[in-house]
Structure 1
Amino acid sequence: MSSVELERDGPILRATLSNPGRRNAITWPMYDALEQLEPTVAGDRGIRVVVLRGAGGEAFAAGTDIRQFTEFTIGAQGVDYEHRVGRVLASLLRIRVPVVAVVEGPAVGAGLALAACSDLVVATPDAVFGAPVARTLGNTLPPVVLARLFQRLGAGRTMAMVLSARLLSATEAAAAGLVSDVVERAPLDEHVDELLARICANAPLTLESLKEIERRVLRDGADAAADDVLAAVYGSHDFRAGVAAFLRHERIEWEGR
């Protein structure tokens, strides 16, 4: 059965996309589970980072499970589907902590959208990214997905990719800025663990504030209002403790308050 398997590993929440035999294609129950990640993290201040990964190591996610589209008989069902996906992506973007996607193999269609909604993407050299719907299904992409791809890949590269229905290699995706690191499979787990450790060692309020300000800048531009975020960080216990520790040349354990 398909599922999103959750594992709490200290301050790390690992969410594994699992749809055996379907290259982790996303089903309706998996979409529902992904939408619950945001409230789960919001309710647990001990979580410092979320990791998205495909089960089995052969694929991140090969889009939506196509078997579900056989239920569609009218256009309104497609509209409802895209709205549903949009709610899931919006919830992922609201997650207060950094989200790291680990991509092995294809991240296609909805899998590409999930990777694009992550803050950092670590990919193996065999990873590929794309949304070749013009060649495969004959459906289309909604504004929320194109907008996020424009932000992460650029409008020109995105349109060239989707209009030609081609897949980007991990190297191309890294050059465009979607992929943070391209790592061979052998040291992949070690690399990811080191990255997660660095994130968890950072000031959580700073990371949360950077994500919130990014959301506002992408929505409103450089004039986005953020005084409330700035005041919360500069008025925090962690900031005062950080200044004191820095001046004493001491290491600090961030408390997130």
Structure 2
Amino acid sequence: MVEKNMATAAPKKATIYRMVMPTHTCPYGLKAKDLLHRRGYEVEDHWLTTREETDAFKAEHGVKTTPQTFIGGERVGGYDDLRRFFGKTVADPKAVTYRPVAVVFAMTALMALAASYAVLGTPFTVRAGEWFIAFSMCVLALLKLQNVEKFATMFLNYDLLAKRWVPYSYIYPYAEGAAGVLMAAGVLTWLSVPIALVIGTIGAVSVVKAVYVDKRELKCACVGGDSNVPLGFLSLTENVMMVAMAIWMVLGVAH
């Protein structure tokens, strides 16, 4: 009886209007259509193939954006509105998050374990720990170097040396990357160690002063100038790791 009712139940239907032009296919339209399919809806897919057609649709329905989804004859709205309609969360672009730094550390840890396995036959070695820090420095430098200008602007909010000597805010990501590469290779320790010690110590002191002494709520430039990572423990971790790696190499334990 249940199976018979399910078989005769009317399928859920939705209508979507989205931009599909020769030079542009709206990604949010694709997301909205996929979400409807995953929710079991039959989708009547209407393409807006010209700018004029799109503008006319917006004017007709009094909306500013596409895609627009209609369910049961009622307009639900755009992709974010559709997510809310299904009870899903909508990301806040301004919300603070530790995810970027956590992802970097997780990936570099896996890279270090993989490198150790490939070179030494086992993932769990002292060298894997050294590579983890070195790889982290390289990846964090890479993220900063994507837009040095934005990084420098955010960095100047809290770094003590950069506030006194602005060029340091531009030098920092290059110095961090260079030290990371040298430490990964285990060469030129006479150069990599002083670099890591200097930038790591200054960075740690700067974070402690800004966050724990001055109680300021700032965004960290550790993963670049566009991040919403709050300045705090993970920011301090980046600098402490550099200092720890430098001391480790000074003590002659590194191979």
User: TM-score, length-normalised on structure 2?
Assistant: 0.24
Q: Which has the higher helix share?
A: 2
